């Protein structure tokens, strides 16, 4: 009796699996405000034209915290930054300062087939005490 239950379960699993694979949608191309993101190409990135340094959080300066915050973001087709997200945190105060600084950064946007397009990138913001 137990063997038949196991066989029924295995049979149901094998029958459901192909159906599940057929029903899966192909992943949609990523977009930003209706524009398709640029296809990543080797060595093609937006060029920074304005990159003000971040301020140091006073509490973290007193504790002498140093390190790097990793952010992911989208460089819009106008060269602005959008959808900033902390990927690797340092401290809440320094994360906030990194996001604040990078949100003011400006880029020469990437072009694809002669048209500007948004691109998803990652940037590192270093905090060093000298």
Does residue 31 form part of some domain? yes
Cβ–Cβ under 8 Å, residues 126 and 71: no
- Over the stretch 55-91, which tens digit does the pLDDT of each residue have? 999 999 999 999 999 999 999 999 999 999 999 999 9
pTM score of the predicted model: 0.74
Q: How far is CA 94 from the centre of its chain?
A: 18
What range defines the domain where residue 100 resides? 27-127
Q: Are β-strands 31-32 and 35-36 bridged in parallel, bridged antiparallel, or unpaired?
A: antiparallel
**Average per-residue pLDDT in the chain?**
83
Residue 65 φ then ψ, to 5°:
-75, 130
The CATH number of the domain where 68 resides is what?
A: 3.30.2420.10
Does residue 40 form part of some domain? yes
Positive or negative: CA dihedral 112, 117, 121, 123 = positive
Number of domain units in the chain: 1
Beta strands in 35-80 (DSSP E): 35-36, 47-50, 67-75
Does residue 22 form part of some domain? no
């Amino acid at each position: 009796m137990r063997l038949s239950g196991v066989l029924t379960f295995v049979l149901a699993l094998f029958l459901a699996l192909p159906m599940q694979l057929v029903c899966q949608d192909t992943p949609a191309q990523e977009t930003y405000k209706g524009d398709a993101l640029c296809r990543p190409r080797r060595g093609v990135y937006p060029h920074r034209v304005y990159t003000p340094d971040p301020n140091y959080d006073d509490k973290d300066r007193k504790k002498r915290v140093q390190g790097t915050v990793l952010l992911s973001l989208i460089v819009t087709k106008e060269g602005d930054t959008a959808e900033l997200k902390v990927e690797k945190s340092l401290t809440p105060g320094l994360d906030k300062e990194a996001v604040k600084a990078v949100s003011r950064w400006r880029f020469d946007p990437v072009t694809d087939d002669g048209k500007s397009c948004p691109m998803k990138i990652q940037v590192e913001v270093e905090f060093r005490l000298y």
